[in-house]
Amino acid sequence: MQRKKEGGEEKEEKKRGGGGREIVIVVDDHTRSAPTEEMLDALTAEISEAGGEEYLRRVKVLVACGTHSAPSKEELRRILGKHYGRFPVEAHDCDADSLVFVGRTSRGTPVFLNATYVNAKMRGGVCVLTGDITLHYYAGFGGGRKSILPGIAGRETIRRNHALLVHENARTANLDGNPVHEDMCEAAAMPLAKPDFVLNTVSDASGNLVAAFAGECDEVFKRGAAVARELFVKRIREKYDILVVSAGGFPKDRNLYLATKAIEHCKRAVADGGSLILVAECRDGVGDAVFEDWMNKYKTAEAVESAVKTNFVLGGHKAFYLRSTMRRIRICVVSSLDAEMLENWGIQPYESVQSAVECELNLMLRHKEKMEEEEEGERKKEEREQREKRAGEN
């Protein structure tokens, strides 16, 4: 494990700053698989060392839900582990009347944030972000600034930021010139948004902790993203005709809205005209009404792109990405979703991975045979035309 530790003076300053002030710890929600319990172990040990039970009584946990629904009690138990019931917990509501306006980014995004967090900042409290750093299909990487925007931001703030995703640089593992990432960074750097301390982890595909970084937000994110890039970004010599992709199991495949992230992460590895087979249970269905409505309403990539640019609505961006991908490759899904609905969208449903691979392989072989027959026909046609031309000349 890699860890960035605070210097002695910075740590002593945190000790002095904790007395009588709130300590707000922001954690990932139920759609993420961050090792939140372990991070709270480390943080509460530090807080206890600094001020004992008196400081621990000032801790409040804020769940960064973004636009997601609040986690259930069972989901909170899974997130917090032994810390469930130990501290007051608030699930962020992006539509709350109490949201506080803290500024506007250079791209015009109005930044509204959770009142508990902002009020703690205004009263001199300590605000801590936790989370994991992994690939993100239009912010480049998750973690760091994403705990602020979208994590504890208002719906309009998130909507305006996510509308930037149509830019060509807003893609998986890319931060250079990425307007979504840059807008998030600006929001997280505002005086009433900037966290006092950040603890982020990087885990492998099996959930094993690989690295942890703590300290200032930008530095933590920069170092964590470098590890995540090394871990998850792979170079291939040639693209695949058929690629089987897992969304990562529960909770990453709890619905199609979340599971489609796996398509975005892997689609560039599929050859033009090839097949990507997504394996995702989707026990909670599609997962977003706007996403489902846009997939029903907009049948082409051009139509949904126009809708995103003229009237962006959260959820519609999923339809934009999916339709754009379907322009180039064939999408298949092994899930519990309604087969008729998927077929109406132009997606091929399957009941098992085996049947999906067998059918897609047969389809690919038939397509190649057809292409070979057409090429052979063209070759024979050219030869015939050449013979006729020579006969005419004689």
Residue 17 has pLDDT above 50, yes or no: no
Task: From residue 137, give the alpha-carbon distance in Å to each of 169, 260, 262.
Answer: 11, 10, 9
Q: Is the pLDDT of residue 379 over 60?
A: yes
The pLDDT value recorded for residue 368 is 81
Instruction: Compute the mean pLDDT over every residue in the chain, rounded to the nearest whole number.
Output: 91
> pLDDT at residue 2 above 50?
no
Cα distances (Å, whole numbers) of residue 321 to 51, 69, 171, 309, 331: 49, 22, 10, 13, 12
State how far the Cα of 324 lies from the Cα of 268, in Å rounded to an integer.
12
- Quick check: is 388 in a domain? no
Range with the lowest mean pLDDT among 115-119, 143-147, 313-317? 313-317
pLDDT of residue 391: 75
Q: 12: how many CB neighbours lie within 10 A of its CB?
A: 12
Q: Is pLDDT at 15 greater than 60 in this prediction?
A: no
Q: Determine, yes or no, domain membership for 394.
A: no
SS3 string, 45-87, reads HHHHHHHHHHHHCCEEEEEECCCCCCCCHHHHHHHHHHHCCCC
Q: 386 lies in a domain? A: no
Do residues 223 and 263 both lie within one domain? Answer: no
Kindly list the distances between the CA atom of residue 152 and the CA atoms of 26, 144, 361, in Å, as whole numbers in the listed order.
Answer: 9, 12, 45
Tracing tokens 């400081």 back to the chain, one arrives at 55
290 shares a domain with 248: yes
pLDDT value of residue 25: 98
Answer yes or no: is pLDDT of 311 > 70: yes
Domain-embedded: residue 384: no
Please name every residue paired with 332 in a beta bridge, in sequence order, or none if there are none.
277, 348
* 1 located within any domain: no
> What are the b/e assignments for 257-290, b being 16+ CB within 10 Å?
bbbbbbbbbbbebbeeebbbbbbbbbeebbbbeb
d(CA 23, CA 116): 10
If you average pLDDT over residues 140-161, what whole number do you get? 96
| 246, pLDDT greater than 50 | yes
Measured between alpha carbons, how far is 374 from 2 in angstroms, rounded to an integer?
57
Alpha carbons 353 and 370: distance in angstroms, whole number: 25
User: What is residue 12's predicted lDDT score, i.e. its pLDDT?
Assistant: 45
Centre a 10 Å sphere on the Cβ of residue 23 and count the other Cβ atoms it contains: 27
* In a shared domain, residues 63 and 205: yes
pLDDT in tens, 208-229: 999 999 999 999 999 999 999 9
The pLDDT of residue 172 is above 80: yes
pLDDT per position as a tens digit, 264-295: 989 999 999 999 999 999 999 999 999 999 99
Together in a domain, 186 and 305 = no
Determine the pLDDT at residue 20: 67
Choose between 389 and 318: higher pLDDT: 318
Strands (E), 137-218: 140-141, 197-203, 209-215
State the pairing for strand pair 209-215/197-203: antiparallel
**Selected residue with higher pLDDT from 312 and 263:** 263
Q: For position 7, what pLDDT does the model report? A: 40
> Is 53 part of a structural domain of the chain?
yes
Number of H helices, E strands in the chain: 13, 14
Query: Are residue 46 and residue 112 in the same domain, yes or no?
Result: yes
Please tell me whether residue 143 adopts helix, strand or coil conformation.
coil
Q: How confident is the model at residue 16 (pLDDT cuts 50, 70, 90)?
A: very low
Report whether 297 contacts 270 (CB < 8 A).
no
* Per-residue model confidence (pLDDT) at position 394: 62
63-92 average pLDDT score: 96
**For the chain, what's the residue count?**
394
CA nearest to 258, candidates 103, 137, 127: 137
- Whether 366 shows a pLDDT value over 50: the answer reads yes
> pTM higher than 0.75, yes or no?
yes
Domain encompassing residue 170: 14-232
Give the total number of structural domains in the chain.
Answer: 2
For 125-225, strand residue ranges (E) read 126-132, 135-136, 140-141, 197-203, 209-215
Q: Which residues are 132's β-sheet partners?
A: 201
25 & 169 share domain: yes
Q: Can you tell me whether residue 273 is helix, strand or coil? A: strand
Q: What is the pLDDT of residue 375?
A: 79
* 327-357 pLDDT tens trace: 999 999 999 999 999 999 999 999 999 999 9
Residue 5 has pLDDT above 70, yes or no: no
Boundary (domain end) residue, out of 173, 205, 232: 232
Q: How confident is the model at residue 371 (pLDDT cuts 50, 70, 90)?
A: confident
Asked whether the beta carbons of 242 and 214 are under 8 A apart, the reply is no
Share of the chain above pLDDT 90, in %: 79
Q: Is residue 392 part of a domain?
A: no
Domain with residue 308: its CATH number is 3.90.226.30
Residues 213 and 253 reside in one and the same domain: no
Question: Burial level of 309, CB count in 10 A (0-12/13-18/19+)?
Answer: exposed
Question: Where in 288-359 does DSSP place strands (E)?
Answer: 330-334, 348-350
Per-residue pLDDT for 18 more than 80?
Answer: no
Confidence of residue 103 (pLDDT cuts 50, 70, 90): very high
- Which of the pair, 393 or 378, is modelled with greater confidence? 378
Residue 40 CB neighbour total at 10 angstroms: 24
pLDDT at 4: 38
Residues 210 and 264 occupy one common structural domain? no
For residues 247 and 352, state if they share a domain: yes
| 256 and 152 housed in the same domain | no
Distance CA(30)–CA(17), nearest Å, equals 31
Q: Looking at the predicted structure, is the pLDDT value of residue 109 above 90?
A: yes
Q: What is the pLDDT of residue 308?
A: 86
